[in-house]
Amino acid sequence: MNVLTLRLPEEIEKKLKLKAQIEHRSVSEQIKKYLSDAILMEENPDLPLSFIKQTLEAKAEIKAGLGQEYQFGHIS
């Protein structure tokens, strides 16, 4: 793992610290999350971030054996 030093405006730093605290993350983890989200959005410009995240979550659930096959015509 590499170490990278960032210089951020004070206002952004305050917002990062607050958001990290709310989300129970370290500031470093919060920055990683924001960068990951930004990369996903840049790689998929036509899709909303919420859709991308839901798709990745569904794929992870299937991989973990938690998925259920959809029965067309059945509402449960």
User: What mean pLDDT, rounded, does the chain reach?
Assistant: 91
Give residue 70's pLDDT band: very low, low, confident or very high (50, 70, 90): confident
Domain boundaries, the chain: 11-63
- Has residue 21 got a pLDDT over 90? yes
Model-level pTM? 0.72
- Predicted pLDDT of residue 42: 96
d(CA 61, CA 48): 20
Query: What is the distance in angstroms between the CA of the first residue and the CA of the last residue of the chain?
Result: 46
Closest CA to 16 of 4, 29, 2, 3: 29
Instruction: Determine what percent of the chain is predicted with pLDDT higher than 90.
Output: 75
- Residue among 48, 12, 9, 47 at smallest CA distance from 30: 12
